């Protein structure tokens, strides 16, 4: 199964300012989330951002908020976005495929992803755009998700599958602005 930009949404889970410094390689996770949000914006793939208890963990990191533009930002207190019900009425609910990035891989990302699968969604987790405080937790989460049928992908896999072909102005633009030299 390939990711299709006309069937996909991008869900950014809890990439919050106060949590990021504790995430192993958090700057890379943030940079890859920003990169994917930029590609999604250029290709008209809708983005939804969640925040876990923003009063305590802060808002979504500023550079990421800037990259997602007018994307809806939903708040939650459940670890899973699905259990919290905050995805109701968003493009994540409306579209069949969900590409997921964010933190923490073994908590909010994992619980959200498993529940999206149980809803019958086609779920893709971007390995180079998810993180946890401990690398071992991240790896265990990715393995568990894989065992439950979640597709584990990379940011470039997402971009190239959303693009599908090279002989287009969009490919040249994405290649120039995101892929080449990044």
Residue 3 belongs to some domain of the structure: no
Q: In which domain, by residue range, is 150 found? A: 8-179
Query: In this predicted structure, what is the pLDDT of residue 39?
Result: 97
Query: pTM of the predicted model, to two decimals?
Result: 0.97
Residue 15 belongs to some domain of the structure: yes
Residue 169 belongs to some domain of the structure: yes
Spatial CB neighbours of 81, under 8 Å, sequence gap ≥ 6: 11, 13, 50, 74, 87, 92, 108, 112, 115
Residue 2 belongs to some domain of the structure: no
Query: In this predicted structure, what is the pLDDT of residue 180?
Result: 83
How many DSSP H helices and E strands does the chain contain? Answer: 9, 6
pLDDT 10s digits, 14-44: 999 999 999 999 999 999 999 999 999 999 9
The CATH number given to whatever domain includes residue 169 is 3.40.50.850
Query: In this predicted structure, what is the pLDDT of residue 68?
Result: 96
Q: Can you tell me the distance from the alpha carbon of 38 to that of 41, in angstroms, rounded to the nearest whole number?
A: 5
Please answer whether residues 14 and 154 qualify as being in contact, where contact means their C-beta atoms are separated by less than 8 angstroms.
no
Total domain count, the chain: 1
Residue 1 belongs to some domain of the structure: no
Percent of the chain with pLDDT over 90: 93
Query: In this predicted structure, what is the pLDDT of residue 117?
Result: 97
Mean pLDDT by 10 residues, the chain (182 residues): 96 96 97 97 97 93 96 96 94 97 98 97 98 98 98 97 93 90 68
């Amino acid at each position: 199964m390939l990711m299709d930009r006309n069937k996909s949404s991008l869900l950014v889970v809890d990439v919050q300012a106060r949590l990021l410094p504790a995430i192993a390689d958090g700057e890379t996770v943030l940079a890859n989330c920003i990169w994917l949000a930029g590609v999604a914006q250029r290709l008209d793939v809708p983005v939804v951002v969640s925040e876990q208890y923003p009063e305590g963990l802060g808002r979504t990191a500023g550079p990421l908020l800037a990259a997602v533009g007018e994307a809806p930002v939903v708040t939650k207190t459940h670890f899973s976005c699905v259990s919290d019900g905050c995805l109701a009425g968003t493009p994540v609910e409306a579209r069949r495929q969900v590409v997921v990035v964010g933190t923490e891989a073994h908590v909010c990302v994992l619980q959200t992803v498993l529940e999206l699968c149980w809803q019958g969604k086609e779920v893709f987790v971007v390995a180079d755009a998810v993180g946890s405080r401990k690398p071992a937790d991240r790896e265990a989460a990715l393995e568990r998700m894989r065992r439950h049928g979640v597709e584990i992908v990379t940011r470039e896999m997402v971009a190239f599958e959303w693009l599908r072909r090279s002989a287009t102005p969009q490919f040249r633009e994405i290649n120039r602005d995101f892929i080449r030299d990044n």
